[in-house]
């Protein structure tokens, strides 16, 4: 078992390095997409879009819960599930209903076993998600919001900070915050030299470009959450397998001491039995000689 857990720890460490590389590789795309989105939005007056408009009455909340497909990763899955349950309780106290989009078999099994209503389930890619997986989830989320099935969408996942630190977070996803399209403080982007950005001519129009960019921005945020969750899963599994390996080593040490003590006790017992037997034989021979001498002195013919 120690050899198995040690091998799993090494595999998780290798996967963690690749997952971190994927997070770093995805950041430039997300930053460029946000910059283009902001640049377009600041040049459109009175921007309106279904994905930007908050609902007056938020009656239904969709939660996208991101967990792993496999276990043996410590409290990684249970932490996300507890956060999702806590969010559902908060929404219920506010008189809101919930909808569940599950990512990962662990959350699916947990909520299905407890008879929660699961609207969509996405599994089989938790340890190595692709952008196409994020696109599939993004399309389902966008459709549910635009069609009026839900009034708000929330992401529940584990944010990767470092190999030794991760945290479960809840992030609003849809409707998108106005800051996304407001250039941060509401002003157009500026160059490093402080001059205002030049005006652009858009073909097709800015509204059409926003229609294409906003769903992609949602997909990019979901993809970032999936990548963070994957890296957090590998980090959690690495720590869990290291702990299991160390515990196995401690158990081997304790059992070895117990076995050595038992072997020593058995050897000591055998030595004592041999010594006792030898003493008994020696005592028996002495008694027999003494009896023979006594009989001869009495003239006993036998």
**Going from the N-terminus, what domains does the chain have, and what CATH number goes with each?**
2-248 (3.40.1380.10)
- The predicted structure's pLDDT at residue 197: 53
- 233: nearest Cα among 185, 183, 180, 168: 168
- The predicted structure's pLDDT at residue 4: 93
Pairing mode, strands 60-66 and 97-103: parallel
Given pLDDT bands bounded at 50, 70 and 90, which one contains residue 110?
Answer: very high
Given pLDDT bands bounded at 50, 70 and 90, which one contains residue 6?
Answer: very high
pTM of the model: 0.80
pLDDT at 293 over 70: no
Note if 73 is an active site residue: yes
Strands, E, within 67-163: which ranges?
97-103, 120-122, 152-162
| Active-site hit among 63, 66, 68, 73 | 73
- The predicted structure's pLDDT at residue 238: 94
Please, what's the b/e burial string for 48-74 (b: 16 or more CB within 10 A of its CB; e: otherwise)? Answer: ebebbeeeeeeebbbbbbbbbbeeebb
Instruction: Output phi, psi for 196, to 5 deg.
Output: -70, 150
Q: Tell me the pLDDT tens digit for each residue of 172-218.
A: 998 886 555 554 333 444 444 454 455 666 677 777 778 888 899 99
Q: Which two tokens stand for residue 4?
A: 């198995």
Q: Residue range 78-89: average pLDDT?
A: 94
- The predicted structure's pLDDT at residue 187: 40
Radius of gyration of the chain, Cα coordinates, nearest whole angstrom: 36
């Amino acid at each position: 078992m120690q050899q198995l857990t040690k091998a799993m720890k090494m595999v998780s460490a290798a996967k963690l390095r690749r997952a971190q590389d994927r997070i770093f590789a995805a950041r430039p795309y997300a930053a460029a997409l946000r910059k283009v989105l902001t640049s377009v939005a600041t040049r459109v007056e009175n921007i309106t879009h279904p994905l930007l408009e908050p609902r007056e009455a938020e009656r239904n909340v969709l939660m996208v819960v991101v967990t792993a497909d496999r276990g043996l990763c410590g409290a990684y899955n249970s932490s996300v599930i507890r956060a999702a349950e806590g969010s559902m309780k908060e929404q219920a106290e506010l008189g809101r209903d919930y909808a569940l989009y599950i990512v990962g078999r662990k959350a699916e099994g947990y909520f299905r076993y407890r008879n929660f209503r699961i609207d969509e389930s996405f599994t089989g890619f938790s340890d190595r998600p692709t952008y196409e997986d994020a696109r599939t989830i993004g399309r389902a989320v966008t459709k549910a919001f635009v069609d009026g099935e839900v009034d708000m969408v929330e992401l529940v996942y584990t944010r990767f900070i470092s190999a030794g630190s991760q945290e479960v977070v809840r992030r609003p996803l849809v409707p998108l915050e106005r800051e996304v399209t407001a250039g941060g403080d509401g002003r157009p982007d500026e160059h490093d030299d402080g001059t205002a950005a030049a005006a652009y001519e858009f073909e097709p129009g800015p509204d059409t470009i926003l229609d294409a960019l906003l769903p992609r921005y949602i997909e990019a945020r979901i993809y970032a959450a999936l990548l963070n969750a994957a890296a957090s899963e590998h980090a959690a599994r690495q720590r869990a397998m290291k702990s299991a390996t160390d515990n196995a080593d401690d158990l081997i040490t304790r059992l070895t001491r117990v076995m050595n003590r038992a072997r020593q006790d058995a050897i000591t017992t055998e030595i004592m039995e041999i010594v006792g037997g030898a003493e008994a034989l020696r005592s028996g021979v002495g008694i027999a000689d003494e009896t023979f001498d006594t009989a001869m002195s009495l003239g006993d013919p036998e």
